[in-house]
Amino acid sequence: MQLAFIKVSIYDDMKRIAELCGLDVEDPDVHRTIRYNGKLLLIDDIEQEVLEAAFAEYKADLETHLLQEARKSRSESIGELASGFINTRYTLFRQQFFQALFTEAIALGLANRIAYIRGLLNWCKSVVEYTATLDDELESIVSAVDIEHFEPDFSPFEESDPQVTIKGALAIED
């Protein structure tokens, strides 16, 4: 049995490197031939030259082989953080109540209730818009380490939370 190995970073996409070696990484049997020991990527039953050539190809185009997927993954996790941030202040069931009250207010022409709830909707929208600006920032980052450690700052939104309540919305009848 032949063993090929190459030094890689924990940030490298070992699955992609194995694919570039010509391996079917979806095959469970292939998974048993690929290992990472914290420093080295080890692959059974391939030539050392094949692994080195695959790694060289991988490194020559990190944008395609690593960074695009890293940005996408980080963007998704930031979106989840934003959703969690909103949900800590306005749980999903409360958001549903507000949507129902907003829809009813529109149907009944309750301008003041609409304006009150719109404050919450605008606040939520501003959090979402902020995450969109972070996607732009992520696009300019060219290091997998920096992408992974890129963090949103939701603290300005803590101060701008409109503190809308269901009780407050129900109290507005015009």
- Among 42, 60, 78, the domain-final residue is 60
- Among 39, 60, 81, the domain-final residue is 60
142 with 73, same domain: the answer is yes
| Residues 118, 16: Cα–Cα separation, whole Å | 46
**What's the pTM value of the predicted model, to 2 decimals?**
0.83
Task: Supply the pLDDT for residue 3.
Answer: 94
34 with 88, same domain: the answer is no
Give tens-digit pLDDT for 79-121: 999 999 999 999 999 999 999 999 999 999 999 999 999 999 9
Helix (H, G, I), strand (E, B) or coil at 36: strand
Full residue range of the structural domain in which residue 75 is found: 63-171
27 with 97, same domain: the answer is no
Task: Supply the pLDDT for residue 113.
Answer: 98
40 with 68, same domain: the answer is no
84 with 164, same domain: the answer is yes
> Residue-wise over 34-56: b if at least 16 C-beta within 10 A, else e?
beeeeeebebeebeeeebeebbe
| Residues 81, 37: Cα–Cα separation, whole Å | 31
10 with 53, same domain: the answer is yes
112 with 159, same domain: the answer is yes
40 with 91, same domain: the answer is no
81 with 115, same domain: the answer is yes
164 with 95, same domain: the answer is yes
Domain count across the chain: 2
44 with 70, same domain: the answer is no
107 with 146, same domain: the answer is yes
Which portions of the chain are predicted below pLDDT 50? none
